[in-house]
Chain A
Amino acid sequence: MSTDQLTRTASRGTGPRASVDRVRGYLGRVDRRFLPVLGTVLTLLLMLGVGQSRYSTDRASFLSMKLLSNLLVDNSYLLVLAVGMTFVILQGGIDLSVGAVVALVGLATAKLFTAGLPLPVVLAVGVLIGTSCGLLIGVMVQVFDIQPFIASLAVMFLARGLANVVSTNSLAIDDPGFSALAAWSLKFGEGRGLWRINASMLIAFAVLLVAVYLLHYTRFGRTVYGLGAGDRGAAVTLMGLQPARTRVWVYVISGTCAGIAGILFALYTKSGFNLTGIGMELDAIAAVVIGGTLLSGGVGFVLGTGAGVLVYGLIQVLIAREGLDSWWTRVFIGAVLLAFVMLQRVVSVRRR
């Protein structure tokens, strides 16, 4: 540190070296924890810039509220999943079950509507299914000391199997109340510039805000970050916080988020299908990593995850606008993931 400062003062002169050092000085002043998130935001801006320069026409600009609104409508379920996943990853765990839970909740919702239950009950049961899946993982991880990877893998198989038991066909949801909820939206603007705010966007935003509050302004949030530090909860215990309870809670939160996401996905597709959500857990993990959260836990921001989801959605938009085949999406997401992992690596090396 001191040598760093010495070189900085020594080389304060003219020439290119000095300007490079000055930039480094500015970067050094930024809290290093923000660097990955900064990368996410820069990527987002870069992609928006590329989109703006390539796809804007005289009649419609690429950058518009409409783009943002479409992005959020298409990815609200992913945002909720990724927010839940952020908790688990910050704590140092992983949850592979969320994709299967989304499928299970969607099918259960459809089945319950056919059974004639009222809307609030169905929604509550849907979310509670997710919660109980999360609780199961949490208990396995905390009480039976099973690694999160395996525990959530087991619950993933469980949820997928249960979904297959409920139905192997796509079940349409034609409940009038549910359809009204899916169709409801606030409209802004006129003609081509028309954009909307719908129910799933609002729910996703609410989840995001609650997550920000929980992680950054409560004792629970501090425990989550503390557990992610990687000393098996020693520091957290010394601080008088409760590691055991928190470790169960993060999985409950992730499961609940998966339940909510399942309902959002059902709102989006107006049906339930047992094959939805295969690989969705990886989309969520990818969004979290792109959003600047370190997979080893302890470092990251839930708002970064929000930006990560936007980057994720924007990749799909750009690929579609470019007219490339859909499998390019996977290759590109892989490449972006690679870039971010490299960035995180650089950042964590510099911190040492």
Chain B
Amino acid sequence: MTTSTTHGPGGRAGTIWREVTQHGLLWPSVALVALLLACGAKSPGFLDVTLRDDHLYGQLVDLLRNSATPLLLALGMCLVIATGGIDLSVGAVMAMSLAVSLTYLDGAADPSSPVTVATALALGLGLGAVAGAFNGFMVAALGIQPFIATMILMVAGRGVAMLITEGQITTVTSPPFKSLGSGFVLGVPTPVVIAVAVFVLVTLAVRRTALGMFLESIGINREASRLAGVKARSTTWTVYVIAGLLAGLAGIVYGAPTMAADANNIGLLRELDAIMVVVLGGTRLDGGRFHLGGLVVGALLLSALERAVIIFELPSQTTPLFKAVVLIAVCVAASPYLRGRLRTPRPGARGAQRPVEVAA
């Protein structure tokens, strides 16, 4: 995920130093480590991970579990942002997918049978994909701005979720479905396994094939990439479907532990969290270059922040305040203005080296 740049003479240590200080993930990573250490100092047991009944337990494991939902959402969001778009509807899609899954389970004869659970899962994911296809249709086929196109579903989606649950908070009991959110696979929490699997899949898909390059080229210049033979339209469409699918999955994973489809509150403002994770991960919102590895750091930072507020015995309602502080700090630290300010006094800066390279 490192950005390869040409380095002038200046010694290996200097190269590494520049590489580190100019890496987009420096500040988020520093913030994450500082936050974890601070939590560890405040509550001594925080960094312990224990093995009980073959299951991993501990604050850090909980933190990983909580990072699964934002990571899933952010993966889809990152791909969409890479094409120069945005998807505001993911929160509403989470609510819709969970609503349709749980409503199906509620009406089924035996909510615990594997076939029923698989069908419920497929319905939820299918609805997510349909929602994504709708967004993709608006953006790719009709050429509507992504912000407004996905806002339509953001506004209407929650209404649709309410229609599905008929305004009730549907609750069902189905142990297999519940285990999607609160179970363990080989001692690791299921949501973590799901998130890691999806992350690996997506990374392979975009970095081992040309897909990632297509996405970046569309994000940088749609028309040029179309002329270069990239199927801009269908690629954009695919990306929105993936984002919808992942949002549906995130909704199911997020809602499975409680098994309650609360259409008003599931996934509320989650789209903004997801966008925040993408930005914290070093991807700029204007499209083009994207960093999947940064998403992991971003998602962990987000849940570490939420956890730290509890550890430090602050009222949990103040979480947005700290989110704001971290977001502003990271964005300002990464802004070109401040970087320029920090760089100009040093003589070995990149701009000054250009003539040397030309001369040599």
Contacts and interface: CB of A to CB of B under 8 A. Distances in A.
Q: Do A and B come from one complex?
A: yes
Interface string A323-337: 001011111011101
Contacts of A157: 320-321, 323-324, 327
28 contacts: A96-B272, A140-B328, A146-B335, A147-B286, A150-B279, A153-B272, A154-B331, A157-B321, A158-B320, A160-B320, A161-B318, A161-B320, A161-B323, A164-B318, A164-B320, A274-B317, A282-B151, A282-B154, A295-B148, A327-B159, A330-B156, A331-B159, A331-B160, A334-B156, A334-B159, A338-B152, A342-B142, A345-B144
A334 B153 contact: yes
B343 to A, nearest CB: 15
Contacts of A224: none
B338 interface: yes
B59 to A, nearest CB: 23
A158 B155 contact: no
A217 B138 CA distance: 36
Contacts of A330: 155-156, 158-159, 162
A341 B152 contact: yes
Interface string A89-127: 000001010000000000000000000000000000000
A93 to B, nearest CB: 11
Given A147-B285, A161-B323, 7 more contacts: A140-B332, A144-B332, A146-B332, A158-B321, A158-B325, A168-B317, A345-B144
Contacts of A160: 320-321
B61 interface: no
B7 interface: no
A184 B338 CA distance: 51
Interface in B46-65: none
Interface of B: 86, 138, 142-145, 147-149, 151-160, 162-163, 167, 263, 268-269, 272, 275-276, 279, 284-286, 315, 317-325, 327-328, 331-332, 335-338
A325 B159 CA distance: 10
Contacts of A328: 159
Nearest to B155: A334
Contact of A161 (B145, B154, B322): B322
Query: Which 9 interchain pairs have the tightest Cβ spacing?
Result: A161-B321, A334-B156, A330-B159, A164-B317, A158-B324, A157-B324, A327-B162, A161-B320, A331-B159
Contacts of B285: 147, 149-150
A296 B84 CA distance: 14
Contact of B337 (A143, A335, A338): A143
Contacts of B269: 278
Contacts of B276: 150, 153
A53 to B, nearest CB: 26
A252 B327 CA distance: 21
A15 to B, nearest CB: 33
Contact of B142 (A158, A161, A345): A345
B152 A334 contact: yes
A309 interface: no
Contacts of A327: 158-159, 162-163, 167, 263
A96 B271 CA distance: 13
Nearest to B264: A327
A145 interface: yes
A286 interface: yes
Nearest to B156: A334
A285 interface: yes
Counting contact residues on chain A (CB < 8 A from B), the size range is 35 or more
A294 B347 CA distance: 46
B98 to A, nearest CB: 16
A96 B108 CA distance: 41
A227 interface: no
A162 interface: yes
Nearest to B263: A327
Contacts of B275: 149-150, 153
Interface string A62-97: 000000000000000000000000000000001010
Nearest to B165: A327
A123 B20 CA distance: 49
Interface in A268-291: 274, 278, 282, 285-286, 289
Contacts of A94: 147
B349 to A, nearest CB: 19
Contacts of B321: 157-158, 160-162, 164-165
Interface string A1-35: 00000000000000000000000000000000000
A156 B321 CA distance: 9
A155 interface: yes
A151 interface: yes
B241 to A, nearest CB: 19
A274 B321 CA distance: 13
Contact of A329 (B149, B159, B322): B159
A149 B145 CA distance: 14
A157 to B, nearest CB: 4
Contacts of B319: 161
Contacts of B144: 341-342, 345
A294 B112 CA distance: 50
A68 B268 CA distance: 33
A338 B144 CA distance: 10
A347 to B, nearest CB: 12
A204 B319 CA distance: 33
